[in-house]
Structure 1
Amino acid sequence: MCIARSAGESCFERARLQPLRSSASPGSCFSTNSKRTSHCQKTLKGSRMNFCRRTVSLLILCVIVSVPSWGQITEILQGSNETKKPAQTNPTDPLGRDTPNGTLFGFLQAMQGGNYLTAAQYLQMSPAKRARDGEQAATKLKALLDGAFVGSLRSISTNPEGTLQPGLPPDREKVGTLSVDDSEADVILVRVNDPSAGKIWLFSADTLSKIDALYELLQAGQVETHVPRALVRTEFLGMSVWRWLAMIVAVPVAAGLAWVLIELVIFPIMLWRGFRKQPQLAHWRRISGPLWLVIGVMIHRVLVGYLTLPLLHRHYYFITVRVVFTIGVGWLALRVLARIMEQLRLRAIARGSTGTGSLVLLGQRILKVVVVLFAGLAVLGALGFNLTTALAGLGIGGLAIGFGAQKTIENLFGGISLLGDEVIRVGDACNFSGRVGTVEDISLRSTRIRTVERTELSIPNGTLATMNVENLSRRDKFLFNPTLGLRPETTPDQLRFVLSQARRILYQHPKIETASARVRLAALDQGWPALEVFSYVVTRDGAEFTAIREDILLQWMTLVEEAGTGFTFPSQNVYLGRNRGIDQEKAEQAEATVREWREQRQLPFPDFAPEEISEIRDTLPYPAPESALHRNSG
């Protein structure tokens, strides 16, 4: 008769009961192949559904134990489902033995679900031997895979033809090694032809012949002998409760050890900087969080390694650890990148390279996108997705996006071009096709301008790169270029007096560039003498320029009044009364002064003598002596 199995019976307890089963009567469940096959077909569907339910519950609990964030549960569950799919891809074999990956996972799933008869179908045995020793061999093999398997389940081929390996024929594939103490045995799968299922992969007879000796060595060194038997016998989701408890306890232990290690490194540094009276590491806490997560995951992985988890649980646990570790490394990379880029940007601004600082800011944003993209691909790889297909899809999708997002890409490269050429910088005042404003930000897509009306103007970088931009903040001096019109009745000598004294004022003014300053009679075609002024005000401050311009214009008004003439305006004068005309007395004085210059051969035309210009340069008091600025400075 068959020996009953309780849910709390461990795999090792079952193994000790196997010799009793070898002597089962002909009426038992092992008596005939027909009964065994019928029983397998009846239990296969139920076992798979039972396994799915157990696997989902197992993954949820693994994520709770290993992942600090609940947000990763969905990703891990999706990854585990992807891992299991290769075992059921080919419908020709109901047990999914058409690939090496499907054979190994199918065997582990059947054993975890308690379907030992089904698990025996994955072993290369004759029907008679499978009926007699199949269940016992499957149990021992499962115990060895759980406790002594060395290899990666992710690297097992999902190709029905398998993978060609050096030293092995095409119909054999090595999926790992069983290592117990100093003894080792390769786990070899062999491809055979099954009459009902076609070509399938099975655990080779050579591998099965070595499991008895390895199993005895494995039994002798069990940690479970030191654990209360109640915790060993009781299982939850296919694994002993004591292992679940140990994994849960390992979480706070790993977190505490990670915190201690970080503090052991940073505390001496803090003490040393305090002793040297140097500023403390204010930004350290920004990277301590992701660093704590990365170190904690690594420590938890080391601690769990001592628990000898069942192979299938270990596989899902490693997936979880890889995902969390990848997220932690990506998080840490983003924090470190932000800190480094911020330091580079501040140094560039301190050196006066505001454009370089803006370019660093743009580069930081691009690198963040790259880091997130690579972290996402790494997570997909850890979850078992085929990255070759994903990268190929990204390439095709990139071409489609490139055609569909030409403007966005144009704006991106336009922003890089603007920052690289340093045409504009954050803080510059510019004229953008008639709109004057200050650059507030240069992003990946557009540049934001604060106009003089205090509105925000957003210009796409692609458009800005082709626009005529006048950078008002880059000028080193202001152009002062007014045109003065005198009354038509101004005499030539009065005009000469005004020209000479106007030049003198420019030469004397300390804020006027003497070398380029000039005042010339430019035109008479409008009915009055027009004086053209060309000079530069040596200042970069717009407010100071307007003050200097005002001062010079006021002085010229006084000069024109002293010459006995006046300014003309583009209008028609209608005299309704007696016209006083020009001031005859002042006109005679101006003419007398010019006559005196002429007689002394000192007439300043076409310009003052160079020695006289040098003598009078910067002699005009500015601001004026009566200005309130003198009182404030005193």
Structure 2
Amino acid sequence: MGRHHWRKIFSILFVLSIQCSVFSVTAADDINLKKVAEAEKRSEAITEAQGGLIMARDGETPLTALIAIGQAIEENDWQAAAEFVDLRYLPKGINPEDGPELLRKLVILWNKQNIIDLSQISDQPTGHLNDKLPSYRDLLGVLETNTGPVPVYMQHVPDGKGGKIWKISNATVAKIPELWDEYGYSPQIEALANFLPEFSAFHMENWQLLILSLSILFGWIGTGLISLAAISIAKHFEPKIAGLSRFCGRSLRWFLYLSLLQYAALALGLSVRARVWFDNSTLLYLANTILILGLVELYSAYKSKQLHDQDKSYSVALLRPMVAILKIVIVVVIALMWFESSGYNMATILTGLGVGSLAIALAAQKPLENVFGALTLYAARPIKPGDFCRFGATLGVVEEIGLRSTRIRKLDRTVVHIPNSVFSSQELENFSVIDRRRYKHDLRISLDTTKEQLQMLLMELRKLLLSHPRVLEVAQRARFLAIERDAFVVNVNAYIDTGDINEYFGIAEDLNFHLLNIMKELDIHIAPIGQNVVLNNAVPADLEVQQRAEQTIRQLIDEEALPFPNYSEDTRDKFKDSVAYPPIGSVTKPKDVLKSPEELEVENEIEAKS
């Protein structure tokens, strides 16, 4: 292809870029997607029915004349199609030999505003007799112009063989040049159409397909450049508005791109069959859907960051399914609006959706149970992401509560997905909401221990529990619980003022060390488990320790100060917080120890007063 040809193409495209903006895009108000689809379906049925019958002679009725014109046009035989155009008695300046070209222009003008519904065309030789027109004339439709409607007639005229035939009226043909000058294609468009190979698709001509393809390509590039500029600006606001760059790079770009294609397509002077997809703003509905969903995502990202900063992770987990549901509602509403603009009856659609929803609900019973289970978890809030819990035999940390299932990471780092319908309906144990930890031991004391030693042990244990700063007063006890055949059972029970398991282990460890010291000082031993026969030299008991225990108990009895069943209130107050914790010499200082909610509340009150 020579260089001058490319120069010619680019010059034509440059002119087209200017002229496309001034093309008339007048559309018939009463034509929509539904009517076009129904008319095409009826016309196809009539054409097939006529093809299966012994047909009347072409042109004997208005219907057969139009079918013959349509078949000739499909075969690109405009000369044959022009046989059904009345070229007699035309005004000066209109050459009858230009019949094929005149018909081609009429078809273009007609297709830009109308469609032919063959079910409305008479199949009688006499045509329609009740249309208030002369018996030799039938009305096909009208072309809307700035000066008023121009009727398009079929006319019963002599066929030159002694009979009559239905043709497009010469009165209509006489107005084609004038209509074409006002609403037809420019010479540049015609030159481009003639230059390109003959092809068509989607009811669009070759030049329309070319320009639309170029609009798709360069529109994507152009909106990409705009999107990059928007992203560079959005990055300055990203710390405050999370997700803004992503919104500009995706949602905003697609919105601009589809909107550009919508207006570009309407500027091409498309036929009704092609333009009906754009007249009802299909691309604009899609563009607005993407934009609205992008705005929802943007708000979701902004709100998620805000909730994370406020340490409200549970609300973030609740936000995700709510956003998903909102998106579904938006898509359904916009889809219904598009169907209504396309001519479909909204009541019929909603009725169909009602029946369909019932069928879907029955078919998707389990998924819906999971969704309602998720809503139950969000409303009741028995758990939240980050909680350590037990569900049946599953023990682990909750990572995410989705619409279908809850994800738990077990202690061995494997992941379990539990359906929400099951998760919300069975027993669940949440360890993360524990406000205090229980310290409990059943000490099995050797039967060699004397009564006085046991009494001293109980006294020291109670003193320990009262003295330790991290042991709560609730349910404190150290009791001689039972005498069994192999041991004395002493029960120690208390609550530690922490819910954190790691901190609890540290405090329990400290209590255990104190307990061992007490038992060592009192020469008390743990009874061996089971029954064993031990043959060895007898080890005499430490008589000094036993005598000291007896003297201490006797002295307390004489002074009426024996602390059984409990210490007096004054003594309890003296013991309170007298044990050093963390222990002396520990690397952990008091300021490093996690404080209970009660301690924090008291400290806050003191700071507020000061």
TM-score for the superposition, normalised by structure 2: 0.68
Residue 180 in 1 paired to residue 142 in 2? no
Q: Secondary structure at the match of 2:438?
A: strand
The 1:619–1:400 alpha-carbon spacing in structure 2 relative to 1, beyond 3 Å, is same
Instruction: Give the aligned residue type for 1:468.
Output: E
* 8 A Cα contact 1:362 1:444, kept in partner: yes
Instruction: Give the aligned residue type for 1:612.
Output: T
How is 1:158-557 mapped onto 2 (pairs within 5 angstroms)? 178-184=143-149, 213=175, 216-220=178-182, 224-225=186-187, 227=188, 230-234=191-195, 236-237=198-199, 242-255=207-220, 258-259=223-224, 283-315=244-276, 318=278, 325=284, 327-367=286-326, 395-524=354-483, 528-557=487-516
The 1:388–1:111 alpha-carbon spacing in structure 2 relative to 1, beyond 3 Å, is farther
Q: Which moved further from structure 2: 262-271 or 419-428?
A: 262-271
Partner of 1:145: 110
Q: Secondary structure at the match of 2:110?
A: helix
Q: Secondary structure at the match of 1:463?
A: helix
Per-residue Cα deviation, 1:39-77 (whole angstroms, up to 9, x for no partner): xxxxxxxxxxxxxxxxxxxxxxxxxxxxxxxxxxxxxxx
Per-residue Cα deviation, 1:480-528 (whole angstroms, up to 9, x for no partner): 1222232234333322211121011112112111343222232335564
What 5-or-longer segments of structure 2 have no aligned partner?
Answer: 1-35, 54-63, 91-95, 122-129, 133-138, 155-165, 593-610
Instruction: Give the aligned residue type for 2:109.
Output: L
Alpha-carbon distance in structure 1 between the residues aligned to 2:66 and 2:444? 101
* 8 A Cα contact 2:441 2:492, kept in partner: yes
Q: In structure 1, which of residues 560, 564, 577 is the aligned counterpart of residue 523 of structure 2?
A: 564
Q: In structure 2, which of residues 554, 558, 583 is the aligned counterpart of residue 624 of structure 1?
A: 583
Per-residue Cα deviation, 1:253-310 (whole angstroms, up to 9, x for no partner): 5445545665676666667x59xxx668764234423422332232233344343234
How is 1:107-118 mapped onto 2 (pairs within 5 angstroms)? 111=73, 114=76
* 8 A Cα contact 1:144 1:215, kept in partner: no
* CA apart distance, 1:588: 1.7
* CA apart distance, 1:158: 10
Q: Secondary structure at the match of 2:480?
A: strand
Q: In structure 2, which of residues 44, 56, 60 is the aligned counterpart of residue 88 of structure 1?
A: 44
* CA apart distance, 1:429: 0.8
* CA apart distance, 1:182: 3.9
* 8 A Cα contact 1:447 1:459, kept in partner: yes
* 8 A Cα contact 1:176 1:186, kept in partner: yes
Instruction: Give the aligned residue type for 1:600.
Output: E
Q: Secondary structure at the match of 1:514?
A: coil
The 1:412–1:348 alpha-carbon spacing in structure 2 relative to 1, beyond 3 Å, is same
Q: Secondary structure at the match of 1:430?
A: strand
* 8 A Cα contact 1:251 1:300, kept in partner: yes
Alpha-carbon distance in structure 1 between the residues aligned to 2:70 and 2:339? 24
Per-residue Cα deviation, 1:366-389 (whole angstroms, up to 9, x for no partner): 455566667888899999999988
Alpha-carbon distance in structure 2 between the residues aligned to 1:618 and 1:443? 47
Q: Secondary structure at the match of 1:516?
A: coil
Instruction: Give the aligned residue type for 2:44.
Output: Q
* CA apart distance, 1:470: 0.5
How is 1:38-53 mapped onto 2 (pairs within 5 angstroms)? none
Q: Which moved further from structure 2: 482-491 or 110-119?
A: 110-119
The 1:88–1:229 alpha-carbon spacing in structure 2 relative to 1, beyond 3 Å, is closer
Alpha-carbon distance in structure 2 between the residues aligned to 1:133 and 1:353? 79
The 1:431–1:188 alpha-carbon spacing in structure 2 relative to 1, beyond 3 Å, is farther
The 1:454–1:229 alpha-carbon spacing in structure 2 relative to 1, beyond 3 Å, is closer
Per-residue Cα deviation, 1:158-198 (whole angstroms, up to 9, x for no partner): 9989xxxxxxxx999x9997332343458899xxxxxxxxx
Q: In structure 2, which of residues 555, 568, 582 is the aligned counterpart of residue 596 of structure 1?
A: 555
The 1:350–1:159 alpha-carbon spacing in structure 2 relative to 1, beyond 3 Å, is farther
* 8 A Cα contact 2:251 2:291, kept in partner: yes
* CA apart distance, 1:478: 0.5
Partner of 1:587: 546
The 1:418–1:240 alpha-carbon spacing in structure 2 relative to 1, beyond 3 Å, is closer
* 8 A Cα contact 1:233 1:240, kept in partner: no
Alpha-carbon distance in structure 1 between the residues aligned to 2:550 and 2:71? 117
The 1:575–1:288 alpha-carbon spacing in structure 2 relative to 1, beyond 3 Å, is closer
Alpha-carbon distance in structure 1 between the residues aligned to 2:71 and 2:251? 36
* 8 A Cα contact 1:354 1:426, kept in partner: yes
Alpha-carbon distance in structure 1 between the residues aligned to 2:428 and 2:309? 25
Alpha-carbon distance in structure 2 between the residues aligned to 1:265 and 1:611? 75
Alpha-carbon distance in structure 2 between the residues aligned to 1:103 and 1:444? 61
Q: Secondary structure at the match of 1:481?
A: strand
Instruction: Give the aligned residue type for 1:219.
Output: D
Per-residue Cα deviation, 1:399-446 (whole angstroms, up to 9, x for no partner): 444334433332232222123211122221111124321122333332
Partner of 1:23: none
* 8 A Cα contact 1:323 1:379, kept in partner: yes
The 1:535–1:266 alpha-carbon spacing in structure 2 relative to 1, beyond 3 Å, is same
* CA apart distance, 1:110: 6.3
Alpha-carbon distance in structure 1 between the residues aligned to 2:538 and 2:66? 118
The 1:624–1:503 alpha-carbon spacing in structure 2 relative to 1, beyond 3 Å, is same
* CA apart distance, 1:244: 4.5
TM-score for the superposition, normalised by structure 1: 0.65
Q: Secondary structure at the match of 1:482?
A: strand
Partner of 2:607: none
Partner of 2:15: none
* CA apart distance, 1:546: 1.7
* 8 A Cα contact 2:243 2:302, kept in partner: no
* 8 A Cα contact 1:144 1:211, kept in partner: no
Alpha-carbon distance in structure 2 between the residues aligned to 1:555 and 1:299? 80
Per-residue Cα deviation, 1:17-38 (whole angstroms, up to 9, x for no partner): xxxxxxxxxxxxxxxxxxxxxx
Per-residue Cα deviation, 1:323-373 (whole angstroms, up to 9, x for no partner): 655555444444443333333344344444433322222334445556666
Alpha-carbon distance in structure 2 between the residues aligned to 1:159 and 1:424? 66
Instruction: Give the aligned residue type for 2:461.
Output: A
Q: Secondary structure at the match of 2:566?
A: coil
Alpha-carbon distance in structure 1 between the residues aligned to 2:586 and 2:306? 41
Alpha-carbon distance in structure 2 between the residues aligned to 1:583 and 1:158? 121
The 1:408–1:228 alpha-carbon spacing in structure 2 relative to 1, beyond 3 Å, is closer
Q: Secondary structure at the match of 1:594?
A: helix
